Amino acid sequence: MYKKIIVFEGIDGSGKTFHLNEVAKYLSKKKIKFIKIREPGGTKNSEIIRNIILNKKSTFKKKTDLLLYLAARNENYENLIKPYLNRKVILIDRFIDSTIAYQHYGFKINKRIIKELNNFILGNLKPNFTFFHYVPIKRIKKNISGKKNKYDSFSKNFYNKVQNGFLNILKKNKNKLLIDSSKNKKYNIELIKNRINKILKINGWRNF
């Protein structure tokens, strides 16, 4: 199993991207090589797909959305993840768990189909560790205000279903850590950095 894939999950406005960028700064200071990937997005082709998916005028059916997300993931896997496995730490803003949380728990697409499609693309590849960002539902609209993609128009009820989906996923895997975004920002950053230290030391890194 590869030991250098670290994922930041959570609903929109939960702080996941902020913390990923903080970890990137931290690794830079420690002179540890890494790459950052966002989903959807990443490669040139994946960014094209991202713009199609998130366009506020898009009217794709939920299965079409799923296939577009997975098409973008395949581009990232073939062009970014595979080439850098065992060479760099790979930081990913959303990955497999987001697909399950949004497409299954949010849109009610069959979980087995989603898992089979992910396996078709990724094989046995799994993240080494995932930081799941929890945010009180009442804060969602405030956190995503000003953004303009089609997901911004979804109800709090939808996001509640998605976040509960993330929590269900979290219960089943010890390699995931809950980050409560309502807590002090400095506290969360230190919590994440400490876990990053542990992860990379476990896997042979001596830079810390």
43 phi-psi bin (left φ>0, alpha ψ -120 to 50, beta other): beta
Complete domains list, the chain, with CATH: 5-202 (3.40.50.300)
Q: Which of 10-19, 20-29, 145-154 is the least confident region?
A: 145-154
What tens digit of pLDDT does each residue of 17-62 get? 999 999 999 999 989 999 999 999 999 999 999 999 999 888 899 9
pTM value is 0.91
Q: Measure the CA–CA gap between 88 and 199, rounded to whole angstroms.
A: 14
pLDDT band at 142 (very low <50, low <70, confident <90, very high): low
What's the chain's Rg over C-alpha atoms? 16
Give the mean model confidence (pLDDT) for residues 154-180: 92
pLDDT at position 148: 66
pLDDT higher than 50, residue 13: yes
Q: Which of 1-5, 42-46, 98-102, 176-180 is the least confident region?
A: 1-5
Identify which of 54, 56, 23 has the alpha carbon closest to the alpha carbon of residue 129. 23
Q: Are 164 and 180 in contact (CB under 8 A)?
A: no
Q: Are 81 and 72 in contact (CB under 8 A)?
A: no
pLDDT band at 1 (very low <50, low <70, confident <90, very high): very low
What tens digit of pLDDT does each residue of 189-198 get? 999 999 999 9
Give the mean model confidence (pLDDT) for residues 165-171: 94
